[in-house]
Amino acid sequence: MRALVPALLALLALLAPSLAGAQAMDTYGMGARSTALGGAVAADVEDFSANYYNPAGIVRSGQLRVGAGWFGAHHDLSMNDVASNVDPVHGIVVGLNVPGQIDDFRFGFGLGVHLNDQRVSRTRSLPRQRPRWEFYDNRPQRTYLSTHLAIQPWPWLRIGGGIGFLSYTATQLTIRGAIDITSPERGSRLEHSLDGELITIRFPQAGVQVQPTDWLDFGVVYRGEYALSNDLTATVGTRELGSPDSVVIRAGDLTIPGYLSLLTASTNSYSPHQFVFGGSVRPIPELRLSFDLTWLLWNLYQSPLGRSNVELDIIVPPELADMIMVPDSITPGEPVDAFFQDRVVPRFGVEVTALREPDVRLDVRAGYFYENSPIPEQRGYTNLVDSDRHAFNLGAGLELFALRPLLPGSLSIDLYLQYSFLPERAHRKVLTVDAVGDYVAGGHIFAGGATVEARFE
């Protein structure tokens, strides 16, 4: 109990801002070893990928661990057998586990980073009805950066947690001046200003590892919900005539004041509450079996199809009333419910030690997970495309010991390949005159990566 008090204080200290966001990790995993095991590592993860899979594992080994690597995924997804051209995702992964100890109380600090090499973050608002691969087209295009703290009050119990940060954009565009439609190049004078903000949000992540024996482990993880908004406000002119911010359209001697206000607000990316329950067993030293079950509360999803509002006010002179038609009103866009369902993801992992020598060890790994699609058949207006996913993983890891004085510890080199099969899924529209119509969607995802991790005694 004496150890728990500073531990809880330390965890509370983590409520101060840090920076994190879990997107590519949710889909493709983090770290070559953990991904090769299908992500079934919540019970006993201890390398730098603990910063994503279970922060309690940061303190497990009691060693300073520094890892880096590369990861990439190629999407071969199609709708009606036509390639959807979903962007690939690739980038650098970096992690750090730093141990500490006060008397018998062991603690650790962790840092995990996934940095896309194409873009740090992408915000995309698509036309409401356009089909899009909801989980692969835009969501993985995020940077993951997290910090965690973990403690080990007793040898059989480890607790870890942290709070992540993500950002969303709020942009305001203002245009003022005059447009001469008879001589647009010479007579027009427009000024614009753009005000964009990256606004941060926070979400928590916490985990527990319980090790009743040296061959059996259990883990529980919670990852918090977050939703990234994408707000855009555009204003052209003002309703006040003569104001410096007004916009007028000139046609010869005629002057037509105009005003346009456009507001769009949507949820650009959403990640639900996640609960992970995991177990790992080592019946013999050379064999490790693991199983995770992840429950994702997708039923709370806020639809990416947000609201929009357009106000258009143009005072047309009587001379042009027959030529220029201004609509009385423009129907605002309302958010469309997505009706997602919860997802339960089983994960399996097998690790076999194929070679164990005093100065080298070789492990081979295999993993599998199945993600049922939380998205219902798209029978109405929306076209949020997804399919179930079967992910098969293979990997290997080479750990070198006895490296002193070059390295006072060991060095691991891990590789993995992941193949995901998304069986074709049919979407049949209720309305037989739907503009998009019925379609089938499916495909394959190929991913792979390598990491190098140094462990310091």
Partner 1 sequence: MSRRLALVGCVVLASGVALGCSVIGDPGGTPDGLPHGGSGVFRLLSIEETGIVGSLPGRAMALRGVAIESAMRAGDHLFYTHQDLVDEEATPPDDHPEQEVYQPAFGPREIHRAALRDEGVGAFDAGPRILAASEPWEGAAVFDPWAIALPGGGALLYYAAEGGIGVARAPSLDGAFTREPGPVLGPDGGAAPRRPTVVVGPDDAFWMYFDAGDGIGVARSEDGLSFTRVDGLTVEGEDETDDSGELRLANPGAVRVETRAGRVLVRLYVESVRDDGTRLAYLLGSEDGLAFDRFPRPVMEQGDVRFPAPYLVDDRVTFLYANLPFVSRGFQTRAVTVAVAPAGESFAPPVDESM
Radius of gyration of the chain (CA): 27
From the CB of 451, what's the least distance to partner 1, in Å?
A: 8
Contact flag: residue 86 with partner 1 (CB under 8 A): yes
From the CB of 433, what's the least distance to partner 1, in Å?
A: 4
For partner 1, the closer of residues 297 and 312 by Cβ is: 312
Considering only 29, 31, 91, 108, the residue that binds partner 1 (CB under 8 A) is 91
Binding mask 134-173 for partner 1 (x = CB under 8 A): ---x------------------------------------
> CB within 8 A of 336, min separation 6: which ones?
128, 303, 305, 381, 382
Distance CA 447, CA 427 (A): 27
Distance CA 349, CA 132 (A): 31
Contact flag: residue 457 with partner 1 (CB under 8 A): no
Q: Which two tokens stand for residue 132?
A: 């899009």
For partner 1, the closer of residues 85 and 183 by Cβ is: 85
Total Cβ atoms within 10 A of residue 74: 14
Q: Which two tokens stand for residue 358?
A: 């005093």
Residue 49 CA: distances (Å) to CA of 53, 92, 109, 231, 292: 6, 13, 13, 33, 15
Q: Which two tokens stand for residue 44?
A: 């006993």
For partner 1, the closer of residues 351 and 453 by Cβ is: 453
Distance CA 387, CA 95 (A): 32
Considering only 98, 234, 411, 417, the residue that binds partner 1 (CB under 8 A) is 411
Distance CA 443, CA 448 (A): 17
Which span (65-73, 179-187, 221-229, 272-280) binds partner 1, by CB under 8 A? 65-73
For partner 1, the closer of residues 42 and 396 by Cβ is: 396
Contact flag: residue 84 with partner 1 (CB under 8 A): yes
| CA dihedral over 226, 54, 47, 389, signed as positive or negative | negative
Bridging pattern class, strands 384-385 and 274-284: unpaired
From the CB of 288, what's the least distance to partner 1, in Å?
A: 24
Considering only 117, 319, 334, 337, the residue that binds partner 1 (CB under 8 A) is 117
Considering only 317, 330, 431, 457, the residue that binds partner 1 (CB under 8 A) is 431
- Return the residue matching tokens 């009385």: 328
Considering only 4, 64, 68, 234, the residue that binds partner 1 (CB under 8 A) is 68
Considering only 312, 417, 436, 446, the residue that binds partner 1 (CB under 8 A) is 436
From the CB of 440, what's the least distance to partner 1, in Å?
A: 5
Distance CA 186, CA 194 (A): 24
Contact flag: residue 85 with partner 1 (CB under 8 A): yes
Query: What amino acid occupies position 104?
Result: D
From the CB of 310, what's the least distance to partner 1, in Å?
A: 16
Contact flag: residue 48 with partner 1 (CB under 8 A): no
> CB within 8 A of 242, min separation 6: which ones?
none
Contact flag: residue 432 with partner 1 (CB under 8 A): yes
Distance CA 118, CA 183 (A): 42
Helix (H) or strand (E) holding 224: none
From the CB of 155, what's the least distance to partner 1, in Å?
A: 32
Distance CA 268, CA 260 (A): 24
**DSSP designation for 375:** S
Which span (145-153, 230-238, 293-301, 403-411) binds partner 1, by CB under 8 A? 403-411
From the CB of 403, what's the least distance to partner 1, in Å?
A: 6
Kindly give the residue spans of alpha helices, DSSP state H, lying in 14-161. Answer: 24-28, 32-36, 50-53
From the CB of 132, what's the least distance to partner 1, in Å?
A: 7
Contact flag: residue 325 with partner 1 (CB under 8 A): no
Total Cβ atoms within 10 A of residue 14: 20
For partner 1, the closer of residues 91 and 153 by Cβ is: 91
Contact flag: residue 323 with partner 1 (CB under 8 A): no
Residues that bind partner 1 (CB under 8 A): 68-70, 72, 78-88, 90-92, 117-119, 126, 130-132, 137, 400, 403, 406-407, 411, 413, 426-428, 431-441, 450, 452
